[in-house]
Amino acid sequence: MRISELSTATGVPIATIKYYLREGLLPEGERTAATQATYSERHARRLRVIRALIDAGVSLAEVRRVLDALDDPPESPHELLGAAHAAVTPSAAGDLDTAAAEQLIRRIGWQPGTCDDDVVAAVARALEGIARAGFEIPDAVMSAYLESVRRIARAEIAGVPTESPEAAVRYVVLGSVLIEPLLLALRRVAEQVASAERFGGRPPIAGRH
């Protein structure tokens, strides 16, 4: 297909497609004339992945790293997950104290060496922000967090397709990034539902299901 058709098929403006081509995020099409090229369904698939990542708030530099992991996947799914997380987790700052974070994540089965340092550092940074704001998480709530992420992660990892490496790559890399906005949005809905249950609020409208 031509670039205009690629644009129609994916909903991505032509100028944006040209930008991705220049940046090397999208491989060149097959040249059919000096000023024309033709694009395949593979281009469209990749373009949709790029758009989905950017719409999910992933930066261009991170998109590039995720695409690299898709293009050149590590051998085991476990390493692949590490690569996906590395692509979207900021590098650990030097002087971060991770002791409290490590103590916490032991409760979800973490032991030294099972996780990338940057992911542990992300927990430490989040805890630091919470503490700095003078916010305390009640024990019962923290237990709910830990049990829930363990339940989520087990279901996710059990669902990793192993029949083809390409399917595993897509599942791990995209799932890791794209699911985040969904989980956060679902939590907000669930909070409003639970809040209406506890405190009252606009009552549910009867008769509509």
| Binding-site size, a copy of itself (CB under 8 A) | 98
Residue pair 47/6 in contact by the 8 Å Cβ criterion: yes
Q: Can you spell out the DSSP letters for 82-137?
A: HHHHHHHSPPPPTT---HHHHHHHGGGT--TTSS-HHHHHHHHHHHHHHHHTT---
Where in 30-59 is the site for a copy of itself (CB under 8 A)? Answer: 45, 48-49, 51-53, 55-56
Q: Which residue has the tokens 């940057």?
A: 118
Q: Where in the chain does DSSP place strands (E)? A: 30-33, 36-38
> Is the CB of 19 or the CB of 110 nearer to a copy of itself?
110
Is 94 one of the binding residues for a copy of itself (CB under 8 A)? Answer: no
Quote the CA–CA distance of 158 and 164 in Å, as a whole number.
15
Which stretch in 1-9, 17-25, 35-43, 198-206 sits in contact with a copy of itself by CB under 8 A? 198-206
Where in 101-160 is the site for a copy of itself (CB under 8 A)? Answer: 105-106, 108-116, 119-120, 122-123, 125-130, 132-135, 137-138, 140-141, 143-160
Site string (1-30) toward a copy of itself, x via CB under 8 A: ------------------------------
